[in-house]
Amino acid sequence: MKNNVVFIFSLIIVLFFVLLGILNAELLDNVSNTLHASIIDNFGWIYHLAIFVFFIFCIYLAFGRYGNLKLGEDHEKPQYSYFGWFSMLFAAGMGIGLVFWGVAEPLSHYLHPPAHIAEASGDAAAFAMRYSFFHWGLQPWAVYIIMSLSLAYFSYRRKMPPVISSCFYPILGKRIYQTPGHIINTLAVLATIFGVATSLGLGAMQIGAGLNFLYGLTNSIEIIILIIAVVTVFFLFSSLIGVTKGIQTLSKLNMLLAFILLLFMLMIGPTAYIINVFISSLGEYVSGLLEMGLQTYPFQGYDWTKSWTMFYWAWWISWSPFVGLFVARISRGRTIKEFILGTLLVPSLLTFFWFSVFGGTALHLELEQGVNIAHIAVNDVSTVLFYMFASFPLGNVLSIVAVVLLFIFIITSADSATFVLGMMTSNGNLNPPANKKIIWGLTQSSLAAVLLVSGGLVALQQMAIAAALPFTLIMFLMCHTLLRALRDEIK
Amino acid sequence: MLFPLTLTLDFKQIVEGAIFLKKLNIQKFDFMHVVSSGLINTDTFQDVLQNAVEIIKQKTGYDASARMVEGHAASMIVYTAKDHDYNLIFIPAQNKSIMTRTFLGSTASDVIRMTDTPTLIYKNYSDKTTYWQTVVYATDFKVAATRAVPYIEFLGQVASKLVILHVGTRAADPGSENKRIDYIKEKFKDLKRDLEPYWREIFTFTGLGSPAGEIRSGMEKFNADLLVMGRGNKTILKKLIGSTAERVANSLETSVLLIP
């Protein structure tokens, strides 16, 4: 029992939410709506400021005097090649979301920007691209870096168990093995399982929408549950065969497919236009980093900031225990500088290019060719990608590739999550027991399926976001403890 | 020794403070009063000060003198102490409300922040003029703290119980923490051995966390009369938020001897 406190308590709480979702989805919806709205209304600015501080902190660590310290023993070499490492980083951190939002987000901002920008205008398009970069770029990765760097440092350099509570030893001492530590770890498990179950459900819905678009297959609950079941079998299998064989292989395959899709779209799409979108948005993004980092539009359209920017910040923070642990797991042997710059720059640049290719192409269709695609993005986020492909030669092939990509992205996300949940609930065992991985895998899939049926999936997403508030505080403390430990070491 | 005073200070307290200083083998001290620049009627102040010094000399038998200078009080105290090579600045602390301390600061705080001369902030002297029983020596075992050791040795003549107090921060992992604890034990042992010839009783005390807070609780625990601590170089952060020495000197109700 003592070794399984986090496991048992997390499981009980998750089961409570499953039951609540089945028995009274409306209550779950009301509670989560109220909680989510009041947190974003009153504490949204904390997220905004926190993300900015985390970003600055990462820059300081990368270029400061701790940059050459290794996440591991001084003689250790990185476990994974750059390609393997970047592939896994990208797949775990952004993957599925990019397929989902790569087209939809720029189009949504273009059609509904904040009040001070004219809707559906050139300015709105430039704003849309800049803010899509902002929401998916350096700042989210800075959040992940805080979590993963702390975990990797305390685990590999300080030889502590790779669980989040270990990062608090400088403050809590031996209490990390008692109730305070258990609370932190349980919160991390809950944020992870709620977040991944939501993504699993939403991802399965998009695959369903794709299949419906391609083959006219009814986009019914039964089909989506079937998709979840198939995904579950795959990710459990991948999870059980380990990180190197399972997740790494799938991530590399994913990267390859994503790269092919990206390149193909770049070639058949408006290439020069896409490149122009990329460089001009990148320029605007870089020059506006400070302004966007602190701008919440209190006078011009705060509602827009709340529903987009602050939602994203909370979402990334709630995902950070999962992505952080996973990224820490795959980053052993890298120096702090290499880790921060690699994690910050490479996935961000890839993301920017992805948005430029897919979002830029969609904006080209809308602005230059008069295809009314933005309204589709606003009305049905999950199908807009397929509508866009339909405007190009071999559109069906592209859609099939996108569905496969989505399918593998879901598998890699769920696979990494199962692995991380297993680790978190077995006191940081780097090779968590198979039974725990199976239990968590089945739990997250059934949670997604049950809440999809009862209509509580969005409520669950909002609960995950609510967990971001305590996690923001936890992350600030992590910055403090990490800095303290690094200072101690240099001394 | 430099004894800055304000003419609003209770005269009885000044005399008691001066008598107390005899216990510390102070041979000579100079009273000093700082008036604001441009004050026209300085002669009156000079007369009042001179009379006070004469009375003190009669009552205590001290070799004392008085000087009056113009300018910012804390700066003038610091410059005078430095220019004339005083061994000690003796500041009888006045009780100020927390609001006054927070927003206006106090001359004592300003002197602590600026001076390079050992400074004794003397508190509660009306109650405890007769003796000091327990002295707490707060040390982080660094150079600044070591500079206080000769003073600690000397204080063994006027007090009986010494508490060596160390406040540290927990190391980043259990292995390093154990090493840190062993290091502290070793340092305590060495320090105790060095100071044993001067003191009747020596105790040790360790704390974790905020140095100011832990020093306060250590002082309360041992019902100490005096805190002695070294003051190291100031980082930019400490210049902004104030050093531990300043915070402790402001918040403790007992006397504090700071060795820069």
In angstroms, what separates the C-alpha of A316 from chain B's closest C-alpha?
Answer: 27
* Amino acid at site A327: V
Q: What per-residue confidence (pLDDT) applies to A192?
A: 85
Using 50, 70 and 90 to split pLDDT, how confident is the model at A203?
confident
Q: What is the per-residue pLDDT for A462?
A: 79
DSSP letter (8 states) at residue A426: T
Neighbours of B105 (CB within 10 A): 16
**What would the mean pLDDT of A57-65 be, rounded to a whole number?**
95
Give the mean pLDDT of chain B. 81
A171: chain B residues, CB-CB within 8 Å: 170
3-class DSSP state of A296: coil
Single-letter amino acid code for the residue at B239: K
Query: Among A4-13, A232-241, B191-200, which stretch is predicted with the lowest mean pLDDT?
Result: A232-241
3-state secondary structure of B180: helix
Phi-psi map region of A15: left, alpha, beta (phi>0 left; psi -120 to 50 alpha)? alpha
Question: Chain-centre distance of CA A242, in angstroms?
Answer: 21
Q: Is the pLDDT of residue A476 over 90?
A: yes
Contact A139, A53 (CB under 8 A): no
pLDDT of residue B100: 54
pLDDT at B234: 60
Higher pLDDT pick, A213 / A133: A133
- How far is the alpha carbon of B178 from chain A, nearest alpha carbon, in Å? 11
Four-CA torsion A128, A132, A138, A144, nearest 10 degrees: 150
Instruction: Report the percentage of chain A scoring pLDDT > 70.
Output: 98
Of B154 and B49, the one with more pLDDT: B154
Phi, psi dihedral angles at B130 (to 5 degrees) = -80, -40
pLDDT reported for residue A94 = 65
Question: Which range scores top for mean pLDDT: A371-385, A431-445, B9-23?
Answer: A431-445
Binding-face residues of B in 105-144 toward A, CB within 8 A: none
pLDDT by residue (tens digit) across A364-393?
999 998 888 888 888 888 788 888 998 998
The pLDDT-based confidence of A49 (bands split at 50, 70, 90) is: very high
- pLDDT mean over A283-292: 95
A353 has a pLDDT exceeding 90: yes
Q: Provide the total of helices (H) and of strands (E) in chain B, helices listed first.
A: 11, 10
**pLDDT at residue number A289:** 94
What strands, in cross-sheet order, belong to the sheet with B63-70?
A: B63-70, B28-35, B2-4, B89-92, B119-122, B255-259, B226-230, B134-138, B161-168, B201-208
Mean pLDDT score, A56-73: 94
Residue A414 pLDDT: 85
8 Å CB contact of B173 and A154: yes
Please give the pLDDT value at position B109. Answer: 81
Report which of residues A28 and B206 the model is more confident about.
Answer: B206
Cβ contact A170–B176 (<8 Å): no
Collapsing DSSP states into helix, strand and coil, what is residue A70? strand
Q: Which of A18-27, A173-182, A481-490 has the lowest mean pLDDT?
A: A18-27
Q: Taking 60 as the threshold, does the pLDDT of residue A422 lie above it?
A: yes
Per-range mean pLDDT, top range of A400-414, A465-479, B191-205? B191-205
Cα separation values, B244 from A361, A445, A486, B88, Å: 60, 54, 22, 20
Percent with pLDDT over 90 in chain A:
45
Interchain contact B178–A (C-beta under 8 A): no
Q: Report the candidate in B95, B83, B106, B109 with the shortest Cα–Cα distance to residue B30.
A: B83
Dump pLDDT digits (tens) for A315-349.
899 889 888 888 998 899 999 999 999 999 999 99
Closest-CA residue of chain B to A491: B171
Q: What's the confidence (pLDDT) of residue B97? A: 59
As a whole number of angstroms, the distance between CA A350 and CA B63 comes to 81
DSSP B124-175: STTT--S---EEEEE--SSHHHHTTHHHHHHHTTT-SEEEEEEEE---SSHH
Answer with the residue of higher pLDDT: B125 or A279: A279
Give the pLDDT mean for A101-117: 92
Q: Mean of the pLDDT values across residues A393-407? A: 87
Tell me the nearest-neighbour CA distance from A485 into chain B, angstroms.
Answer: 5
Residue A485: per-residue pLDDT: 95
Residues B52-104: pLDDT tens digits? 778 777 777 777 888 888 888 888 888 988 888 888 888 877 655 555 555 54
- Which domains are assigned to chain A? 2-489 (1.20.1740)
CB contact under 8 A, B169 and A485: no
**Would you tell me which residues 108-167 of chain A have a C-beta closer than 8 angstroms to some C-beta of chain B?**
154, 158-160
Q: Mind listing the pLDDT tens digit for each residue in A223-254?
A: 888 999 999 998 888 887 766 677 778 878 88
- Find the CB nearest B175 among A159, A171, A173: A159
pLDDT at B199: 93
Across residues A399-408, what is the average pLDDT?
A: 87
Would the pLDDT of A119 be above 80? yes
In this model, does residue B13 exceed pLDDT 80? no
Partner-chain contact B173 A173, CB within 8 Å: no
- Work out the minimum CA distance from B140 to partner chain A, whole angstroms: 14
Among B169, B170, B173, the residue with its CB nearest the CB of A160 is B173
Question: For residue B10, which phi and psi values (nearest 5 degrees)?
Answer: -60, 125
Q: Please say whether the dihedral angle defined by the alpha carbons of residues A475, A478, A483 and A484, taken in this order, is positive or negative.
A: positive
* Eight-class DSSP state of A307: I
Distance from CA of B224 to the nearest CA of A (A): 28
Q: Is the pLDDT of residue A50 over 90?
A: yes
Give pLDDT, residue A307.
Answer: 86
B170/A488 touch (CB, cutoff 8 Å), yes or no: no
Q: How far apart are CA A369 and CA A437, in angstroms?
A: 49
The answer to whether residue B238 scores a pLDDT higher than 70 is no
Q: Of the candidates B3, B19, B121, B10, which has an alpha carbon nearest to the alpha carbon of residue B61?
A: B19
ipTM of the prediction: 0.76
**With an 8 Å Cβ cutoff, is A171 touching chain B?**
yes
Kindly report, residue by residue over B142-170, the tens digit of the pLDDT. 888 888 999 999 999 888 899 999 988 89
As a whole number, the mean pLDDT across chain A is: 88
Beta bridge mates, B166: B206
